[in-house]
Amino acid sequence: MSSPNRIPAPGPAFYCDNNVHRLGRALRMLGYDTLLFGDGEDDELRRLRDRSGRILLTRDSDFEAEEHTLLLSSDVYLEQLRTVAETFELDVETYRYTLCLECNVTILPVETKDFADAVPEWVVNEERALWQCPGCLRLYWAGSHLDRMDERFERLFRPE
């Protein structure tokens, strides 16, 4: 949670249909406004995409060659993420960890001591920074899980 920029990324906003939800969560980790579409009719998703101006990310060939849609060939979410990042030239570093992974809302800093009963003791003892989603009230803090994600992102986006 070391992003100096505590606002979500500017740039494209996305819809992920139900076959690329893991990709959607990864885009949220990078700070990109991403809505997840559950089960529903393709026509409904088209209407939502067209009305919102979002880019639809999907593996569903029914959407092939449609405007504002990226048809992904891989079923591996990290490969999908690389494709999206390259296609839309996303900034994959600056806006990391600014959005709630559950509800896509900007997380806000809160006082760790005010949530001592809700987080692991070591978070309080080490005076770790804490953020909360104002939508679902989920709490976030920097820990080894973020170090692992950062390492994964570094390997994924390392220039070859």
Q: pLDDT digit string (tens) for 82-141?
A: 999 999 999 999 999 999 999 999 999 999 999 999 999 999 999 899 999 999 999 999
- Is there a domain that residue 10 lies in? yes
Domain count of the chain?
1
Query: Coil, helix or strand for 1?
Result: coil
- Is there a domain that residue 113 lies in? no
pTM value is: 0.90
Residue 159 backbone phi and psi in degrees, to 5: -60, 140
DSSP state, residue 106: B
Q: How many CB atoms are located within 10 Å of the residue 37 CB? A: 21
Q: What single letter denotes the amino acid at residue 147?
A: D
With contact defined as beta carbons under 8 Å apart, do 91 and 18 qualify?
no
Is the pLDDT confidence value at 3 over 70?
no
Domain with 43, as residue range(s), is: 1-97
- Is there a domain that residue 138 lies in? no
- Is there a domain that residue 81 lies in? yes
